[in-house]
Structures are given as C-alpha cells and as structure tokens.
Amino acid sequence: MKTILAILLWCILLALCWPLALVLIFLLPLLWLVLLPFRLLGFTLELVFKVIGAVILFPFRLLGIK
C-alpha cells in the first residue's frame, strides 16, 4: 500500500513540477544508500539491548517472578 501511495504522490509531483520529480528519482536511492549504515547500526543496537535485557531477566523468569 505504501508503494502505491508513493507512486501516486510521485506522479502528482511529476505533473506539478517535473524537474523536482526527476531530481527526486535520482537522489532518493543515493540517500537510501547513505542512510543504510545507520539503519543497520540501529538494528544491531536494538538486538544488543534485547539480549542484555533477556540475560538480566533470565533468573527472574526461572523463579517465576514477572
């Protein structure tokens, strides 16, 4: 659904301001590539914090304390 909405919005932008729409077509993949390491870092940190939380809460789960 997001893809259809994005394509529809891009078509509207193409009709209103075609140079901006063409620039957007070329710059968005480059922006995605630049931001990819930060997304991977965020995903990694989220997993690390979940593992730390699971290790800390493991004894309480064994005792049945919630």
Give residue 64's pLDDT: 84
Tell me the whole-structure pTM to 2 decimals.
0.59
The count of structural domains within the chain is: 1
CA distance 31 to 19: 18
Token pair 């991977």 is found at 40
Q: Which residue has the tokens 């990819």?
A: 36
Predicted confidence at residue 43, as pLDDT, reads 96
Range of the domain at 25: 2-63
| 3-class state of residue 65 by DSSP | coil
pLDDT tens-digit map of 2-60: 889 999 999 999 999 999 999 999 999 999 999 999 999 999 999 999 999 999 999 88
CB 13 within 8 A of CB 21: yes
